[in-house]
Structure 1
Amino acid sequence: MAENEPDPDIDAARFAAIIASSTDAIISKSLDGTVQTWNPAAEALFGWSAAEMVGQSIRRIVPEDRAEEEDRILARIRAGHVVPRFTTKRLTKSGETVPIAVTVSPVRDASGQIVGASKIANDLREQIELQSGLREKTDQFTALANNIPQLAWLADKDGWIYWFNQRWYEFTGTDLEEMQGWGWQKVHHPDHVERVTNRIQEAWDSGEPWDDTFPLRRADGEFRWFLSRANPLRDDEGNVVLWCGTNTDITDQLEAQNHIKLLMREVNHRSRNMLATIRAILRRSSGLPKDELVRSLDRRINALASNQEILDGGDWSGARVADIVEAQLRHLGEDMRRRIHITKPSPVIVRTEAAEAIGLAIHELATNAEKYGALSNDRGRVDIEWEVAGEAAEEPVFRMRWNEIGGPLVPEPSRTGFGSLLIVRNVEQVLAAEVALNFEADGLNWQVEAPAGKLTVDRIERVAAEDYLAI
């Protein structure tokens, strides 16, 4: 043998050593599928030793439902074609079906004749398990991201947004093709988009967490306010690899906060007005004897308290006239209450100032009727009615009437007391009304007429839902 000429024995030994040490299952077989070689990795993968498999048909490890697959492989090998890597399943000695990746190539002799096939197989169980775990985690993330109440999104390290959760698409009525990158600017309010863009770009450039508050357009065109945040995700070296962002709808929260502020202002306003009313009561009642003063203060303050209890909805925006009247008649006995007739109560809601004035007036009228008027005997009665009237072209007018019938003759008082002030002058001033108080032979008659616009409650949607007429 010439120097440097390859030694076939050494080459064969080296090749055999490579096959024996390979972690891939390497198998050779004849053209009829008889196993000729079976390396240690094949023993480990399939469980059969080389002694058990060499000389046996390769179909021993082929599941019945894949018999035609082996036929096709052998046919391609006979035709001289390589069978590229593909995934399939094979049987182990224990009967377990294992997933593998297989590549099959033709084996030729020295003359180039195809004499068999070599097969390299890789165990895919670990890979499939990892893929399954990754798929499960991905499904869990997707389910979580799509079911949180926030709009959520992911951006690359430069701020290019490449993923939105389903909430985003449902809210905006858009798709990824329209929104990716900087497409999200389309759903921002034009008055805010430049500011938002500049601030978020500063975050992309600095790598610092970002938050902002701004309106986003819903699919139906309505803008709602969102608290938005994004945090960077960094690798082990501290480099930003992606951004995770959320948008939380805070419209209702902001409206609630504004409503609380409005209520607090109303509380302050109403408190000052109530104190002013109490001061007026004190000044007008200061000349009364002590016991009568206490009684006068007690019942009038109770009348004020009754009004506060029925202010509509608990937010002091207004009250139904029917509730005001009922609250101020509550102190009367059952017998007297039966003799008070309310003519088909008109569903009218008035503002807090008007509610207070009407309530105090009704309380005074009821108290006077109990002491001196139609309710002071066992025959008299009181008719109460109110309405909002007016032609379409005219401004609506609020009318209210208290009419006593069958009581004792009550002469018109020679002087004006605080009760008369509440019944007439206070109502005139607060409701911008015309008030008529007449002491007729059949009983006292009190009538009010006021522009309905002065009493309007700014809660039309709630009133309409309950079939009330808001004035």
Structure 2
Amino acid sequence: MLNTDDSIPGAGSYEWHVGEDRLLWSRGLVQLYGLTRVDEHAEAFYALVHPQDRDRLRREVQEVCARADHFEHRFRILRPDGRVRHVLDRGRVVRDAQGSAVRLSGVEMDVTEIVEASCGGTGGPGADGSDRPPADAEILDAVFSDAPVGIGIWDRDLKFVKINPLLAEMNGLPPEAHIGKTPKELLPEVHDIDGVTQLLQEILTSGLVRRNVEISGVTPARPSERRYWKEHFFPIKSAGRVTGLAAIVEDITETRKAQETIDALLHELNHRSKNMVSLILAISRQTARSRPEDFLPVFQSRLESMAAAQDLLVQRSWQDIDVEALLRSQLPHVAHLIGERIRLRGAPEVLVPAAAAQSLALAIHELTTNALKYGALSDEQGRLTICWQLSADGRKLQIVWRERGGPFVSPPTRTGFGSTLTGAMLQSTLGGETRADYASEGFTWSVEFPLQG
């Protein structure tokens, strides 16, 4: 027997000489086990351990001797008087020069009251009338049940042993349906489920934590929608041995979709910005070449046309634009004539593809400028009608610009950049056809193009 001072009630110390298979007990430990005499053989000690905990404790002690420096065990003992007590056992391992365990030195404490309070307490006032603080088990249960993340626990066979309500909801199956089943059995539609299974096996083997693992797939919760989860896996250890693993799961589907939308918008913005810069450079070069004498006002007016179309696109979040709204954006200086000398005729809510809007806006701007300088809007008698209509199958849009009652019309003697904007450039951009008719009674222009590429 150890000659030690056991000053803590319900506790005692021991030394276990591994090679000699001999266990030395302190007086306090003898009292904790309710013994009157002590058998120092290890087997005699195991005989006092509750039968349901005996094999587990043997394995844990063997694993401690094999690789640990410190240890902690929790088990039940069966006293000679028939009472079952819960014991907490903590200690350290002493090894020889070769690294073999020669002695386990530990202290055991009777924690029965703590365990029973945690598992069977009512949560009401204590015997002294004060409020009892929540026990560890109650705290853990509250965290597990009400955590804003999914939590799952598996054994070494990767079978669920516990799952919180939120993770069960993510999977679309009741909690009880998970117990005893592997992720592959429950969720075969998860992307690369075999790879996920391999990852879990690696964690069991290595004992390493894996954080921020992204997994995606389809579950019974939403069988028609691909979902994304960020998962943090960590091993569960007992006496230095990995006995299972757990995971914390966050549903990041909406975050992932939002990021994909942002990435797509940034890509589209980059693409459109390059196109716009190229268009501006082309306009500046052509304007300087064809209209050097009034470059700044002409160039500025063309940029304003682009800006007006850009504003419409931004307002529509780069979606398709209503034809009439696009036309009106290019007629700001003659807006007071709309309904009198300018007529807009066409079916309501006909949309122009966003990709076509800017080129079409520049063409309308150029036509408006020419009408104000030389055409139907240059005097008080001229009239302008702009019509639009869809083809019978709804796949093409035609816009017709018709001027009447203005000055005498004659074909241009030279082809300038304006003709390019309303002709070849527009045809190339829209994949359509343009026509210009300089009949003496008035200028007529039309474009017809597919609404989808």
Common topology (TM > 0.5):
yes
Any conservation in 1 of the 2:191–2:215 contact (CA below 8 Å)?
no
Partner deviation per Cα, 1:148-173 (whole Å, 9 max, x = no partner): 2x433233476432222323333333
Q: Distance in 1 between matches of 2:121 and 2:430?
A: 78
Q: Which residue of 2 aligns with 1:387?
A: 389
Give the 3 Å change call, closer, same or farther, for CA 283–141 of structure 1 in structure 2: closer
1:319 equivalent among 318, 321, 342: 321
Aligned AA for 1:231? F
Give the percent of matched residue pairs that are identical in Structure 1 and Structure 2: 29
Q: Which residue of 1 aligns with 2:161?
A: 162
TM-score when normalising by structure 1: 0.60
Q: Which residue of 1 aligns with 2:173?
A: 174
Partner deviation per Cα, 1:38-64 (whole Å, 9 max, x = no partner): xxxxxxxxxxxxxxxxxxxxxxxxxxx
Give 1:312 shift.
5.7
Give the 3 Å change call, closer, same or farther, for CA 196–142 of structure 1 in structure 2: closer
Give the 3 Å change call, closer, same or farther, for CA 327–355 of structure 1 in structure 2: same
Q: Distance in 2 between matches of 1:384 and 1:443?
A: 13
1:231 equivalent among 223, 231, 234: 234
Partner deviation per Cα, 1:220-253 (whole Å, 9 max, x = no partner): 4132121111234556x66656644222222333
Task: State the aligned residue count.
Answer: 324
TM-score when normalising by structure 2: 0.62
Q: Which residue of 2 aligns with 1:218?
A: 219
Partner deviation per Cα, 1:159-204 (whole Å, 9 max, x = no partner): 4322223233333332234323443223243651011110111112
Q: Distance in 1 between matches of 2:342 and 2:150?
A: 59
Aligned AA for 2:219? R
Q: 2:351 matched to 1:342?
A: no
Q: Which residue of 1 aligns with 2:278?
A: 276
Any conservation in 1 of the 2:168–2:174 contact (CA below 8 Å)?
yes
Give the 3 Å change call, closer, same or farther, for CA 169–128 of structure 1 in structure 2: closer
Equivalent positions of 1:15-414 (< 5 A) are: 130-132=121-123, 133-134=134-135, 137=139, 140-141=142-143, 144-145=146-147, 148=148, 150-156=149-155, 159-185=158-184, 186-189=186-189, 191-211=191-211, 212-219=213-220, 220-222=222-224, 223-232=226-235, 243-287=245-289, 290=292, 292-311=294-313, 315-316=317-318, 318-335=320-337, 339-391=341-393, 396-414=395-413
Give the 3 Å change call, closer, same or farther, for CA 314–240 of structure 1 in structure 2: farther
Give the 3 Å change call, closer, same or farther, for CA 263–338 of structure 1 in structure 2: farther
Structure 2: 5+ residue stretches without partners? 1-112, 124-133
Q: Which residue of 2 aligns with 1:450?
A: 449
Any conservation in 2 of the 1:158–1:204 contact (CA below 8 Å)?
no
Q: Distance in 1 between matches of 2:249 and 2:395?
A: 47
Any conservation in 1 of the 2:145–2:165 contact (CA below 8 Å)?
no
Give 1:304 shift.
1.7
Give the 3 Å change call, closer, same or farther, for CA 272–159 of structure 1 in structure 2: same
Give the 3 Å change call, closer, same or farther, for CA 352–434 of structure 1 in structure 2: same
Give 1:288 shift.
5.1
Any conservation in 2 of the 1:159–1:204 contact (CA below 8 Å)?
no
RMSD: 3.2
